[in-house]
Amino acid sequence: MSLTVYYHEVIKRDGLRERFDVIKIVNAIQKAAWATGTELDYEVVQQKITAPIERAVTERAMQVEEIQDMVEVALMQEYPKVAKAYILYRDTRNRERAKREAAREQNR
């Protein structure tokens, strides 16, 4: 008898695990689309972006960064302007996190 394990988990930056939520991906894509004035075809978003990620997450628990990388690649193919906004936002968030971490280290 074999047991099938469905992961559906994301490993967050702090190492904690969280249940995979495709809505978070869709929301991030939507915000990037709004920032560029791009109208999304949600069938394309589902087929080309979220469905492959959902399949990957069922195979193994994935790091947040891996998922974001997959979103970037798919957006570059389907919506280049949205991809640029998504990448810039992600970079801004990474810099903010680094600043917070540096401040915490200084206060120790």
**Domain layout of the chain by residue ranges:** 9-106
Contacts of residue 65, Cβ cutoff 8 Å, sequence gap at least 6: 13
Residue 108's pLDDT is 80
pTM for this model (two decimals):
0.86
Instruction: Report how far residue 93's alpha carbon sits from residue 100's, in angstroms, rounded to the nearest whole number.
Output: 11
Place of tokens 């798919």: 74
Residue 77's pLDDT is 97
Closest CA to 13 of 67, 54, 58: 67
Per-position pLDDT tens, the chain of length 108: 555 555 689 999 999 999 999 999 999 999 999 999 999 999 999 999 999 999 999 999 999 999 999 999 999 999 999 999 999 999 999 999 999 999 988 888
The residues pairing with 11 across neighbouring beta strands, listed in sequence order, are 17, 63
